[in-house]
Structure 1
Amino acid sequence: MSGKLYIVGTPIGNLDDMSIRALRILKEVDLIAAEDTRHSIKLLNHFEIHKKMVAYHQHNEQHSSEGLIELLKQGQNIALISDAGMPLISDPGSVLVKNCVAQDIAMEVVPGPNAGLCGLVLSGLDTRQFLFLGFLGKENKAINEGLKRIKESEVTAVLYESPHRLTKTIDILINNDLGHRQMSISREITKRFEESKYGTIKDHQDYYSEHTPRGEYVLCIEGRTPEEGTPGQNLDLNAMSLEEHLAVYITDGMPEKDAMKQVSKDRGLSKRDVYNAIKR
């Protein structure tokens, strides 16, 4: 029979947050797949867990997954851990889990802390629904896609950011007309110097113009506000051609398919009529 993959959450700073169940699983499995074995050995040594580890990180994820799947098929039980928090959440693991699903290998999750959720409940913003984006990214394409989703979203957006990129990210948000939105910034969650600050994005820009960022950050950004309105609300859309009407929504970042749907709704036309008129 195949073994089982355990997806194990670990502390994000305070080792007292390690669960009794997580400790038991890590002691019982045959192997631990860790994002960074040099980092995880400190955790294991603290709890006197002496277990073989292998590296499983973003640079070897595909190759390492193949080897781990073979070990699981041979009957070994494996625990997957990241450097901190829940594996797969802005951390490696998705390739291995997908392969386990495809090959009908048993899995079990062992819940643990998550920085994004902790930041969200500290934010004072709407927590009923939220948009988790992880790190906004470094490439322009990824940044622009993330910004588009933040601007369009009506629910709280949750981001991770490192100290050396925090001010740059805040500046990007300001430059995209989001400075008026409320945002909480929490740093070093569960650690000794845990701290949360509140205000508009512009308030945070002012604060960090005089303070050096330190620690790992969770940013929670208010969803689209009423004063932002909706695309085209102050324009006479009916006086435009269908092509111009469509361009209003696309310029605001709406996908063409959704923009056509909105145009058909605005003008009382079928989507087919809009499509035919624009594409001819």
Structure 2
Amino acid sequence: MRLAVLVPGGSGQLGRDLVNTAGPETEVIAPSSAELDVTATGQVIAAVGELAERAAAAGAVPVVINAAAYTAVDAAESDEARAFAVNVDGPRVLAAACTSRRVPLIHISTDYVFPGDGDRPYAVDDALGPRNAYGRTKAAGEDAVLGSGASAWVVRTSWVYGKTGANFVETIRRLESERDQLSVVDDQVGAPTWSADLARGLWELAEAVASGRGPAGKVLHCTGGGETSWYGFARAIFEEIGADPERVKPCTTEEFPRPAPRPAYSLLSNASWQDAGLTPLRNWREALHAYVTAS
């Protein structure tokens, strides 16, 4: 099956990996935020319209995978209006344009929509309760997409890292060369997810959607397998780059205050992904080894 896919946010971690992992029968249009501002209604309508026309001309099925997002968690605390524009208004406009052109939409969301006070992995239908501005805007963005009438799916993921832009793995790599010792919080638990693995999972979902086999559930969780803390993640990164993990020391969230409060436990259950017949992502530790080896 031929696909024609528009990926707003195409220059980000996930956007670039969607481009890099696309199959030979897939045409990917991946504009950066400078090329396609999802908050600009006219630009979005034009981009989705062009996608639909190109797909029709090529005998392909059009799909939109929205990788555009305001992800600066701490900055969002003092710039919530901008975060709202990108994370809520943008998806709302995209969903409306997709509805008009009958183009299915896959929208990416986050574990931060949950409060983080649980003791088991969050299921897709658990009550939301974001603790920070970023999480609030992403939760509202989900509502905008799911309430739009579009043929749409929301995919929540967590702790994403990749080769493009700032992320935890690259930050730890840099700090390892700059400091003798690092203190990293050990009381926040989640699942690291390599953006390349997530991209492959999204392509599997996109193909199912395009063939009319889209999951009945409109919200899915897709993360790396297993769980760890940021401290455990940092130690693993040290091990992978050949540094002594004993140089990484645990600390509490209280000892490392940030402008935006973080959920203590934001592990997502991937049962919805597997129940939809989609391939689970590999364990986070295996993925980290592959990422470091390839970079």
Give the alignment's TM-score, normalised by structure 1: 0.33
Whose RCO is larger (CA < 8 A, sep 6+)? 2
**TM-score of the aligned structures, taking structure 2 as reference length:** 0.32
